[in-house]
């Protein structure tokens, strides 16, 4: 479940609280708004207080996929600009969902003080009027911004030093240097004098067959060149043959590409979207099953952990007049023999009412649980030992062993 707030510009202090993914009838829905800070964190129509309070919106409308709650200044003036926790309660079922909603900064009516708080024991009920403000105000819960520092005065003017005098660039060297004159051709019997810094005359002119280090220049063998070329040719032919075998012989990817990719089957363990439990119960009840089938289905869903679906089916069986269905439905309210993971708060009076309907048709299970409820008692349901002994005796006479043991413990 998720929620968003849409302010009404034409009505300051009014907004639409849209709750998505909420499957519940709009009749009788109430909301609870809780803030994070302070001990007085629950919003009532009288301000913030410590005890949990449920508010009735001005108007509730259903749309495809959720519920619209039309709220006024009682809510908008108090929570504008805050992030609060929202809970929704359905009558007869209990809390059906909760989420966190960021209330936008909006124009409020000015009739309510956002910082107003009430005593912890103050009663929360219908709207009560507050002093009406003279004009609309806007609630902004942001920290006060610190003023920017004063600008520093500019530094005093300092005259810049004059640039140095212009210096001409040095002339570049000439692009072409005169080449030295070549030595005269060598003549046998008349060796020319060696230039300064060359080999002495006793060594004679340098041999063109000797390099600078005095060793003859190395020549590459033509046989080595042919060996390298032959190796490259063999590797090229081997690579081409392997590529052709891979392409035409054992290339699964090539065949898949040529034929086109096969459609990928969906895995067997793919997750399937689960329907809401209320929708599952409605679809089952539309098939018009018998009350006995409803009771079995209720127990099956309760065993699978789908307690909301089990609760709705048991209620249909009880309303159809089935005594076992009435006893199973009463267990959802019973604070003594409570159904596992019941989605609704305990109500001993409601449980006793349905147990008594089933006990009057002499159902031992209902007789025993009604006797145990009267024996222990509960909140707003005082214990009655006489009624407890009466119902436990009737259940024991029907052969209920647990009723016999409870009756012995009661005496």
Give me the residue spans of the domains in the chain: 2-105, 277-410
Residue 391: the pLDDT is: 94
For residue 395, the tally of other CB atoms under 10 A from its CB is: 27
Top pLDDT among 208 and 407 is at 407
Residue 3: the pLDDT is: 93
Residue 219: the pLDDT is: 57
Closest CA to 306 of 350, 359, 343, 266: 343
Residue 4: the pLDDT is: 93
Residue 255: the pLDDT is: 45
Q: What 3 state SS string does 144-196 have?
A: CCCCCCCCCCCCCCCCCCCCCCCCCCCCCCCCCCCCCCCCCCCECCECCCCCC
What's the chain's Rg over C-alpha atoms?
48
CA 267 vs. chain centroid, Å, equals 25
Average pLDDT over residues 231-255: 70
Eight-state DSSP code of residue 263: P
What is the rounded distance in angstroms from the CA atom of residue 352 to the CA atom of residue 335? 11
Is 397's pLDDT higher than 90?
A: yes
Confirm if 310 and 299 have CB atoms less than 8 A apart: yes
Is 406's pLDDT higher than 80?
A: yes
Is pTM beyond 0.95? Reply is no
Is 357's pLDDT higher than 80?
A: yes
Out of 69-73, 235-239, 363-367, pick the least confident. Answer: 235-239
What is the rounded distance in angstroms from the CA atom of residue 115 to the CA atom of residue 325? 50
Is 27's pLDDT higher than 80?
A: yes
Confirm if 67 and 26 have CB atoms less than 8 A apart: yes
Residue 21: the pLDDT is: 85
Which residues on adjacent β-strands are paired with residue 187?
A: 190
Is 44's pLDDT higher than 50?
A: yes
Contacts of 47 (CB under 8 A, 6+ apart): 40, 78, 113, 116, 117, 118
CA 220 vs. chain centroid, Å, equals 74
Alpha carbon dihedral 100, 102, 108, 114, in 10-degree steps, equals 60
What is the rounded distance in angstroms from the CA atom of residue 59 to the CA atom of residue 265? 49
CB-hemisphere CA count at 13 Å for 397? 8
What is the rounded distance in angstroms from the CA atom of residue 5 to the CA atom of residue 15? 7
Structure tokens given for 192: 């020319």
CA 245 vs. chain centroid, Å, equals 52
Confirm if 139 and 77 have CB atoms less than 8 A apart: yes
Beta-strand pair 137-138/42-44: unpaired
Residue 43: the pLDDT is: 87
Q: Which of 129-143, 180-194, 246-260, 356-370 has the highest mean pLDDT?
A: 356-370
pLDDT grade for 186, boundaries at 50, 70 and 90: low
Confirm if 89 and 32 have CB atoms less than 8 A apart: yes
Pick the CATH number of 2-105 from 2.60.40, 1.10.357, 3.30.410, 3.40.1130: 2.60.40
DSSP secondary structure letters along 95-135 = EEEEEEEEPPP-EE-S-S-TT-B--TT----S----PPPSS
Is 313's pLDDT higher than 90?
A: yes
Residue 365: the pLDDT is: 93
Residue 388: the pLDDT is: 92
What is the rounded distance in angstroms from the CA atom of residue 339 to the CA atom of residue 302? 9
Is 184's pLDDT higher than 70?
A: no
Percent of the chain clearing pLDDT 90 (strictly above): 37
| H or E segment to which residue 328 belongs | helix 323-331
CATH topology classification for 277-410: 1.25.40
Closest CA to 308 of 283, 354, 277: 277
Backbone angles phi, psi at 189, to 5 degrees: 95, -15
Confirm if 367 and 391 have CB atoms less than 8 A apart: yes
Per-residue pLDDT reduced to its tens digit, 56-71: 998 999 888 899 999 9
Is 120's pLDDT higher than 60?
A: no
Q: At what angle do helices 364-376 and 401-410 cross, to 10 degrees?
A: 20
Which residues on adjacent β-strands are paired with residue 7?
A: 15
What is the rounded distance in angstroms from the CA atom of residue 407 to the CA atom of residue 370? 12
Residue 264: the pLDDT is: 52
Is 293's pLDDT higher than 90?
A: yes
């Amino acid at each position: 479940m998720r929620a968003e707030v849409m302010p009404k510009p034409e009505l300051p202090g009014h907004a639409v609280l849209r709750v998505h993914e909420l499957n519940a009838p709009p009749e009788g829905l109430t909301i609870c708004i809780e803030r994070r800070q302070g001990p007085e964190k629950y919003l009532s129509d009288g301000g913030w207080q410590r005890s949990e309070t449920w508010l009735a919106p001005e108007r509730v409308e259903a749309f495809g996929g959720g519920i619209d709650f039309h709220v006024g200044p009682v809510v908008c003036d108090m929570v504008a600009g805050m992030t609060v926790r929202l809970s929704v309660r359905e009558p007869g079922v209990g809390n059906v969902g909760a989420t966190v909603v960021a209330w936008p900064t909006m124009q409020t009516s000015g009739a309510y003080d956002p910082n107003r708080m009430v005593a912890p024991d103050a009663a929360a009920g219908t709207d009560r009027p507050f002093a009406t403000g003279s004009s609309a105000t806007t609630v902004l819960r942001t920290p006060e911004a610190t003023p920017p520092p004063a600008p520093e005065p500019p530094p005093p003017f300092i005259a810049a030093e004059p640039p140095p005098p212009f210096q001409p660039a040095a002339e570049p060297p000439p692009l072409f240097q005169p080449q030295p004159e070549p030595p005269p051709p060598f003549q046998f019997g008349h060796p020319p004098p060696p230039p300064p810094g060359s080999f002495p005359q006793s060594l004679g002119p340098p041999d063109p067959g000797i390099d600078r280090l005095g060793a003859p220049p190395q020549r590459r063998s033509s046989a080595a060149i042919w060996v390298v070329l032959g190796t490259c040719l063999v590797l090229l032919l081997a690579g081409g043959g392997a590529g052709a075998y891979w392409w035409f012989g054992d290339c699964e990817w090539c065949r898949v590409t040529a034929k086109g990719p096969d459609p990928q089957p969906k895995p067997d363990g793919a997750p399937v979207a689960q329907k809401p439990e209320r929708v599952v119960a409605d679809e089952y009840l539309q098939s018009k099953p018998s009350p006995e089938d409803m009771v079995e289905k209720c127990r099956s869903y309760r065993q699978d952990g789908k307690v909301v679906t089990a609760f709705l089916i048991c209620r249909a069986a009880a309303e159809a007049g089935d005594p076992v269905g009435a006893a199973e439905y009463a267990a959802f309210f019973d604070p003594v023999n409570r159904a596992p993971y019941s989605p609704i708060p305990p109500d001993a009076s409601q449980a006793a009412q349905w147990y008594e309907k089933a006990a009057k048709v002499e159902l031992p299970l209902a007789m025993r649980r009604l006797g145990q409820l009267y024996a222990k008692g509960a909140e707003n349901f005082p214990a009655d030992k006489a009624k407890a002994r009466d119902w436990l005796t009737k259940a024991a006479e029907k052969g209920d062993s647990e009723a016999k043991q409870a009756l012995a413990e009661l005496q």
